[in-house]
Amino acid sequence: MSDFSNVSPERCPVTALSDAFHLSNEQLEAVFRFARKDSPVTYLPDIDFWAVTRFDDIKTILGDKERFSSEITLMPLSPLAPEVQDLLKERGFSPRPTLSNNEREDHDRIRKNTQVAFSPVRNKKLEPYIRQLVNEAIDRFEPDKRADLVKQMVYELPALVLFKLLGIPEEDVQQIKMWADSRLILSFGRPSVEEQMVAAGHLADYWDYCLALVQQRIKSPKDDLPSDLLAIRNGDDSILTIEDINNVVFGLLLAGHETTTNMSGNAILSLLQHPESWDAIVADPDLIPNTVEECLRFRSSVVAWRRLAKVDVEIAGINISAGNRLLCFLPSANRDESHVNNGEEFDIYRKDARSHISFGFGRHFCLGAPLARFELLILLEELSKRLPGLRLANDQDLMPVEAVQFRGPKELWVEWD
Ligand code: HEM
């Protein structure tokens, strides 16, 4: 059943994806269904991207570095105004592509050596801290019998975990979250020039912060990721340069918490919209690992990821010339019936739940996937143990965050007895 009620009737419904954040989950999913069936590759004139919605096409695009480049993945969706570019230049803002938007050969060297620091041992070290954060949040709101789980828990949780990983002190968290929100708006939103100016100032502030952090760790190493990267480098530029490390630290800001905040909101929402699944994980926590995969498949937080066509290509019978930009809609791929049976159904017992593409595919596959999975696992374990009677509050408008490529509830009101 399609619901295109706020989509202009003169245009192909798929063009609504240009402003996907104005659509409810149900509308977005209806557009995806329509697109996969009738218009799997559609031009979006408002943002000058091609929308791709089928699983096989998206997997081919993400996995083919010869024909598709990832150099545009973090480029602002709306071009930066000249005065904003001047401001960034004046402020010495000069990160260079390092991982997700790096097409150079050195991507593989930087990734291989950075991956060492993302070891299961480092994740395991974070476990007590993650459990403590979840429990402290629950302690704070438990007596109220009602909470906004976004504001009161998952907005901060992945950021705090990431900051622990990066060795950033807790007192800087609010400041950095604000800088991160600005980066999200600048890269993936549709800001006015005034909003771009403010966001660009924040971006330059965070860049300075990252440079200072790495310098501090050079002087006095700690038990954190920048210190691990410096130890892996061991003074050898052929392993990692200081510039590489600055850029990795800077890049993790966006990669590591907006995604997980939104995914946590989506996961809880999906489970509470299917109370029988929530009751099942309360009764049997062994179901949680597969439930995490099904939540990732059913409603991923990264709605779309970009690639640039390096040569003329044909996708689903549509010719696209070199230089055109593609938006791969990952949650649409995850429900594609040609890839997964009953893709529209939320089923925590699904055998192939893990076959989703929410963390991308190929050379740029998400480096933080094990950490993200681990955080979601702990969140669901603690929440289902402490608040087994959790349910969605009725009186709420489930609107998503305002970014074209990311999706999660802005607020998520829940209740319990
Ligand atoms: C549920 C949460 C997350 C989702 C849905 C997600 C999704 C993605 C996606 C779709 C990509 C692009 C893959 C491609 O181009 O094929 C990506 C790349 C990346 N992610 Fe994540 N991510 C999540 C959490 C994290 C976390 C927690 C971290 C780090 C702490 C992280 C670090 C990265 C990095 C560094 C890359 C670039 C890897 C490369 O280009 O080699 N992500 N992620």
The CB of 115 under 6 Å from ligand 1? The reply is no
Nearest CA to ligand 1 atom 17: 366
pLDDT value at residue 77: 76
Strand 318-320 versus strand 313-315 pairing type: antiparallel
Nearest CA to ligand 1 atom 36: 366
| Cα–Cα distance, 233 to 253 (Å, whole number) | 21
pLDDT value at residue 414: 97
Q: Is residue 20 part of a domain?
A: yes
Residue matched to tokens 């596959």: 365
Which atom belonging to ligand 1 lies closest to the Cα atom of 300?
5
Residue 404 · residue 302 · CB < 8 Å: no
| Cα–Cα distance, 149 to 271 (Å, whole number) | 13
pLDDT value at residue 98: 86
- Which residues span the domain enclosing 141? 13-415
The alpha carbon of 102 and the centre of ligand 1 are apart by a number of angstroms equal to: 13
| Residue 2 pLDDT > 60 | no
The alpha carbon of 221 and the centre of ligand 1 are apart by a number of angstroms equal to: 26
The alpha carbon of 143 and the centre of ligand 1 are apart by a number of angstroms equal to: 36
- Average pLDDT on 50-71 reads 97
Which atom belonging to ligand 1 lies closest to the Cα atom of 165?
30
Residue 302 · residue 288 · CB < 8 Å: no
The alpha carbon of 311 and the centre of ligand 1 are apart by a number of angstroms equal to: 26
Nearest CA to ligand 1 atom 11: 366
The CB of 408 under 6 Å from ligand 1? The reply is no
| Residue 1 pLDDT > 50 | no
CATH number for 400: 1.10.630.10
Nearest CA to ligand 1 atom 12: 360
The CB of 111 under 6 Å from ligand 1? The reply is yes
Which atom belonging to ligand 1 lies closest to the Cα atom of 101?
40
The alpha carbon of 120 and the centre of ligand 1 are apart by a number of angstroms equal to: 16
The alpha carbon of 100 and the centre of ligand 1 are apart by a number of angstroms equal to: 8
Half-sphere CA count of 2, side-chain side, radius 13 A: 14
| Residue 96 pLDDT > 70 | yes
Ligand 1: residue of 98, 296, 359, 377 to mutate (most ligand atoms within 8 A of CB) is 359
| Cα–Cα distance, 318 to 324 (Å, whole number) | 12
- Average pLDDT on 207-219 reads 95
The CB of 306 under 6 Å from ligand 1? The reply is no
Ligand 1: residue of 165, 259, 261, 380 to mutate (most ligand atoms within 8 A of CB) is 259
Tens-digit pLDDT profile for residues 225-248: 999 999 999 999 999 999 999 999
The CB of 114 under 6 Å from ligand 1? The reply is no
Q: Is residue 3 part of a domain?
A: no
What pTM did the predictor assign? 0.93
| Cα–Cα distance, 406 to 111 (Å, whole number) | 24
| Number of separate helices (H) and strands (E) present in the chain | 15, 10
The alpha carbon of 329 and the centre of ligand 1 are apart by a number of angstroms equal to: 15
What is the torsional sign of CA 240, 244, 246, 249? negative
pLDDT value at residue 79: 84
Question: For residue 233, how many other CB atoms are within 10 A of its CB?
Answer: 17
Q: Is residue 117 part of a domain?
A: yes
CA 214 distance to own-chain centroid: 24
The alpha carbon of 104 and the centre of ligand 1 are apart by a number of angstroms equal to: 18
Tens-digit pLDDT profile for residues 295-334: 999 999 999 999 999 999 999 999 999 999 999 999 999 9
Q: Is residue 8 part of a domain?
A: no
- The count of domains in the chain is 1
The CB of 108 under 6 Å from ligand 1? The reply is no
Residue whose C-alpha is closest to residue 331's, from 321, 340, 323: 340
| Cα–Cα distance, 98 to 250 (Å, whole number) | 10
- Average pLDDT on 49-70 reads 97
Write the CB contacts of 181 (distance below 8 Å, at least 6 apart in sequence).
none
Give, in degrees to the nearest 5, the angle at Cα 14 between 11 and 19.
95
Which atom belonging to ligand 1 lies closest to the Cα atom of 307?
15
Ligand 1: residue of 114, 126, 366 to mutate (most ligand atoms within 8 A of CB) is 366
pLDDT value at residue 147: 97
| Cα–Cα distance, 340 to 169 (Å, whole number) | 43
Question: For residue 139, how many other CB atoms are within 10 A of its CB?
Answer: 10
Which atom belonging to ligand 1 lies closest to the Cα atom of 118?
30
Q: What is the CA radius of gyration of the chain?
A: 21
Q: Is residue 223 part of a domain?
A: yes
Residue 3's pLDDT band (cuts 50, 70, 90): very low
Tens-digit pLDDT profile for residues 377-413: 999 999 999 999 999 998 887 877 766 778 999 999 9
Residue 266 · residue 295 · CB < 8 Å: yes
DSSP-derived letter for residue 79 is: P
- Average pLDDT on 171-190 reads 82
Specify the 3-state DSSP secondary structure of 139.
Answer: helix
Q: Is residue 48 part of a domain?
A: yes
- Average pLDDT on 178-186 reads 83
Residue whose C-alpha is closest to residue 325's, from 4, 18, 8: 18
The pLDDT > 90 percentage for the chain reads 73
| Cα–Cα distance, 228 to 231 (Å, whole number) | 5
**DSSP letters spanning 214-264:** HHHHHHS--SSHHHHHHHHHTT-TTT--HHHHHHHHHHHHHHHHHHHHHHH
| Cα–Cα distance, 4 to 89 (Å, whole number) | 43
pLDDT value at residue 333: 98
- Average pLDDT on 135-139 reads 97
The pLDDT > 70 percentage for the chain reads 96
Q: Is residue 146 part of a domain?
A: yes
| Residue 4 pLDDT > 60 | no
Tens-digit pLDDT profile for residues 254-303: 788 889 999 999 999 999 999 999 999 999 999 999 999 999 999 999 99
pLDDT value at residue 326: 97
Residue 257 · residue 155 · CB < 8 Å: no
The alpha carbon of 116 and the centre of ligand 1 are apart by a number of angstroms equal to: 16
Q: Is residue 6 part of a domain?
A: no
